[in-house]
Chain A
Amino acid sequence: DTEVTQTPKHLVMGMTNKKSLKCEQHMGHRAMYWYKQKAKKPPELMFVYSYEKLSINESVPSRFSPECPNSSLLNLHLHALQPEDSALYLCASSQVPGARGEQFFGPGTRLTVL
């Protein structure tokens, strides 16, 4: 299994809602990542989990809250988002953090904030 899965595929939420994005991989990877991607732009790193511990937080607003319940799962909890948070949210994983392995990306969750 060389796949990263993400649910849901699409999400529409109001600014007062609370929702969660889910990501799963069964490749035994020990690093997992959340990226935000705006249209026609490269992915922007948000968070890195290394061996289930948060190792990088790229100054992301607290309305985004990551969670890594185990080595296969990664969640992104959303609360009180703004319309400018609308984007494609990508999850990725790699065998180890950093340059020693490729990152496998999931298909993304298309988020729209009304």
Chain B
Amino acid sequence: GENVEQHPSTLSVQEGDSAVIKCTYSDSASNYFPWYKQELGKGPQLIIDIRSNVGEKKDQRIAVTLNKTAKHFSLHITETQPEDSAVYFCAAIPYTGNQFYFGTGTSLTVIP
């Protein structure tokens, strides 16, 4: 099955700086890569996703890049704000299956 690795496990940045979280996957059949943000006491919320026919996608301060050859994808958050503090999960989904394969999570802290 698919194996998704996520780094770093914890990340602290100063407000206004950028944050980058990286994930690698193993199954070349994976073709959908969402990123979820989970705040304390809440369920995961989709913040951005990318499909394998696209190399980069942006939504305001958030961007995701995908390198299919290297089998890795990254989340970029610019101009970080304290409300960006949360746990972020990446996931990879093979087109052949129903299951989301989640990364291990990154706890992001934005220091005011």
Nearest CB of B to A108, in Å:
5
Query: Whose C-beta in chain A lies nearest to the C-beta of B45?
Result: A105
**Contacts A99-B94, A99-B95; is A45 near B100 (CB within 8 Å)?**
yes
User: Which residues of A have CB within 8 Å of B77?
Assistant: none
**Contacts A98-B98, A99-B32, A99-B94; is A106 near B104 (CB within 8 Å)?**
no
User: Which residues of B have CB within 8 Å of A56?
Assistant: 98-99
Report yes or no: A90 in contact with B93, Cβ–Cβ below 8 A.
no
Q: Is B89 an interface residue (CB 8 A)?
A: yes
A-B contact count (CB 8 A): 58
* C-alpha gap A35/B90 in the complex (Å): 16
Q: Which of A95-114 contact B (CB under 8 A)?
A: 97-100, 102-108, 110
**Contacts A50-B98, A56-B99; is A107 near B105 (CB within 8 Å)?**
no
**Contacts A31-B98, A56-B99, A99-B93; is A41 near B45 (CB within 8 Å)?**
no
User: Which residues of B have CB within 8 Å of A31?
Assistant: 98
Report yes or no: A105 in contact with B95, Cβ–Cβ below 8 A.
no
User: Which residues of B have CB within 8 Å of A74?
Assistant: none
Query: Whose C-beta in chain A lies nearest to the C-beta of B107?
Result: A40
Those 9 A-B pairs whose CB atoms lie nearest each other, nearest first: A42-B102, A105-B43, A99-B32, A99-B93, A97-B98, A98-B98, A105-B44, A107-B43, A108-B43
Give residues in A with beta carbon < 8 Å to B: 4, 6, 31, 40-43, 45, 48, 50, 55-56, 90, 92, 97-100, 102-108, 110
